[in-house]
Amino acid sequence: MLVVALVAVVACAVRAIGFTPIEAVQGPAQKIFYIHVPAAWCAFLAFGLVGICSGLYLWLGDRRLDLFSEASVEVGVLLTAMVLVSGPLWGKPVWGAWWQWEPRLTSTLFLFFLMVGYLSLRSAVLEPELRARYSAVVGILGALLVPFIHMTVYMFRTIHPKPVVLKPDGPTASSEMLVTLLASFAAWTFFYVALVTTRYALGRVAAARDA
Amino acid sequence: MPDGPPQNAGYMIAAYAIIGVVMGGYALRLILRVGRAVGRGTGA
Amino acid sequence: MLSAALTLAAKDLRAELRSRSALMSALLLACLVLFVLYFARDPTAVAPALVAPGALWVTAAFAATTALNRAFQHEKEHGAIDGLLLAPIAREAIFLGKYLANVAFTLAIELLAVPLVVLFFNVDFGPVLGGMALLLPLTTLGFAAVGTVFGAITARAKHAELLLPTLVMPFLVIPVVVGVQVTGRLLGGQTLAEVAGWLRLLCVYDVIFIVLCLLVFPVVVRD
């Protein structure tokens, strides 16, 4: 499944670069958006699922939920890193600045810190049951924190309005761009699912081996 | 028509390249690990 | 249960007062932070009053982290937490006790930091004392809750001194940002009504996370 997903993502990338029109005002750099946005959606999805699974784990105690969370965070941290890398690479040519403290980017940055913290904790606790419990606690607290971060930055920004050079989503979306974007969303979500299921399977094998 | 879109393809290539290498690399790594795990399971 | 919690908190604080090591280091850190922040800006361009809220809250954040490190350090070193768990006290009481001790310690540092800020940055907190009296506890209650739970978690983990700040940092950000915003605005002349939105956000944050931490703590110290 993973191989198929990989092909799908590559196909989208090719389409994005080759066949979608170059956006008039932002230039080719705008095409970063076709990866950046779906990746961001997947990253938040990843952590949202971790939050839910963490809560469920604390309630039900099923180890598989913990293994899923582990897989999702590992994949998620990479996705988040990609969002944080592609963001400035898009922002610099388009906004003129590498970084803006606006709600979405800031939430993503903190999502990254939360995920890194989660993974650090996992590597610091060796006993599996303890590790699962602690991770679940961090997972659920972290997932709940993200909306607060978003709100806080939003409040901060609306009170200090900064001149926005360009709406990050681009002015109008031609139908071709829309298709590419939607296809990219689908491809990346599929990619996320494939990565997590693969990683989860590996996790289960490892857990069975250690048992 | 005024001067066309800005010439910033370099950023795009950099972004796609980084993402491609990292995500592709991770995917390949997972695939290889699965291959090894399956091999260990069915092999001697 | 409340009396058990208070006894626990009192024991923690008494131990701290006796050794005074964490208190001293937190105070020294506070002075250092304030000093650096004062001199880090361009004196002609940035008025000290603008930096003061940030300085105060960075100090508070450091104080909180010190408090948290200290709190579970004792337990780790002397294995005292096992003794606590064997005693017939409800887990929630243990949480409350540790939590209250953390809050008290952090508040103490903050209260000492305020006059330092007044001194170094030449700011007048007089007219805004009411607002600050509301703000300081609200923020401290918020970050101490998550910190207490994470302190318990990292006590059993490797590299606790590094792991605890890593885990806690995102959770400190909200109260600190709100703290800085509200302090800055109050000092700038706004009324409490005008900063109500920020205070409301903080209250919601506090309620949600304190309740959650209270519920989750027994899970952490189970077994």
Show which subunits contact A, needing at least 3 CB pairs below 8 angstroms: B, C
What pTM value is reported for the model? Answer: 0.80
pLDDT tens profile A48-100: 888 888 888 888 877 788 888 888 888 888 888 888 888 887 777 767 777 77
Indicate the residue of C167, C169, C201 with minimum beta-carbon distance to A121: C167
Q: Is residue A15 helix, strand or coil?
A: helix
ipTM: 0.78
Q: How far apart are CA A53 and CA A66, in angstroms?
A: 7
AA letter at A149: I
Contact, C181 vs C57, CB < 8 A? no
For helices C2-19 and C21-39, angle between their N-to-C axes, nearest 10 degrees: 70
Percent of chain C with pLDDT over 70: 87
Residue A134 near chain C (CB below 8 Å): yes
Cβ contact C–A (≥3 pairs, < 8 Å): yes
In eight-state DSSP terms, residue A29 is G
pLDDT tens profile C88-144: 777 777 788 778 888 888 888 888 888 888 887 777 777 777 777 888 888 888 888
pLDDT tens profile C57-80: 888 888 777 777 776 676 666 566
Per-residue pLDDT, A151 = 80
Q: Is residue A198 helix, strand or coil?
A: helix
CA distance A91 to chain B (A): 10
Q: What number is the average pLDDT over the span B14-24?
A: 78
| Secondary structure of C157-207 as H, E, C letters | CCCHHHHHHHHHHHHHHHHHHHHHHHHHHHHCCCCCCCCHHHHHHHHHHHH
Residue whose C-alpha is closest to residue A138's, from C70, C213, C206, C173 = C213
Instruction: Determine the Cα angle at C195 with ends C190 and C196, to 5°.
Output: 140
Point out the residues of chain A with pLDDT beneath 50.
18-25, 161-171
The answer to whether the Cα torsion of C205, A153, C162, C159 is positive or negative is positive
